[in-house]
Chains A and B, each alone.
Chain A
């Protein structure tokens, strides 16, 4: 995870740092790669889901991301943290899929069914909450996902990476190959647009 990036060597009792796992994976240690997948599977899924807005596409993007990461990990040069590199793959895979989908829907949009906005696809109870709290949280999360999904693409990626996934402006700039001022500007517009859609719910 990001917190462990300052550790450079494996310390007994502490999780092995990402960099060490990457080095092992580069030497063909498959268990090391599996551990990286376990660490970042959830984050990558959430980036994909929030950029793409549906479970099927996010599932495909999740697979694509890790298959690509496996293929290209021998070339990883430690110029950035592993997770920044991985999130860049996840973002690129998701945005490519989004653009392809847009192109396709432009062709068939007249007959395409209207998506069910209140589709309750997830049922993952959180045992720390009462059923009522869990229901409310899920409802709000769906509102958030819908609002994020309605953002223009150039704002969406910045809001997802910066606010929802907690990366810094500099990390988002590296992932999206933008300048930091451009990230800040898009974030500003994205947040204002999101506020307009969410203000009455939160």
Chain B
């Protein structure tokens, strides 16, 4: 962790925020770092936007249901398997 052993900081800079953003989104940062990030976000609209859109991106990926298997891919798979299973 950056700053370990030094005097406690009240905020962080933009580069540090970018470094911590993913863990922050996951809720995995320490309370001290969380407070620094929150303080920074309140004063920096660019970083506030970064965190918001990062959250949205991760959330979208997590709820995205994915594709159904196309019919031809499904049929080819089962044909190959049937051939293999028939061989024993």
Chain A contact residues, CB within 8 Å of chain B: 30, 33-34, 37, 41-42, 45-46, 49, 55, 58-59, 62-63, 66-67, 70, 122, 124, 140-141, 144, 159, 163-164, 166, 184, 187-188, 191-192, 194-195, 198-199, 202
Contact = CB atoms under 8 A, between A and B. Distances in A.
Q: Is the interface of B mostly helix, strand, loop or mixed?
A: helix
Interface residues of B, number: 30
Given A41-B69, A45-B67, A144 B60 contact: yes
Contacts of B43: none
Interface string B37-65: 00000000000001001101110111010
Interface centre among A49, A122, A191 (most CB of B within 10 A): A191
Across chains A and B, which 5 residue pairs bring their CB atoms closest together, nearest first? A188-B22, A163-B61, A59-B73, A46-B66, A199-B53
B55 to A, nearest CB: 9
B51 to A, nearest CB: 10
Main secondary structure of the interface of A (DSSP, over half): helix
Contacts, number: 91
B41 to A, nearest CB: 15
B77 A62 contact: yes
A37 B84 contact: no
B61 A144 contact: yes
Contacts of B78: 37
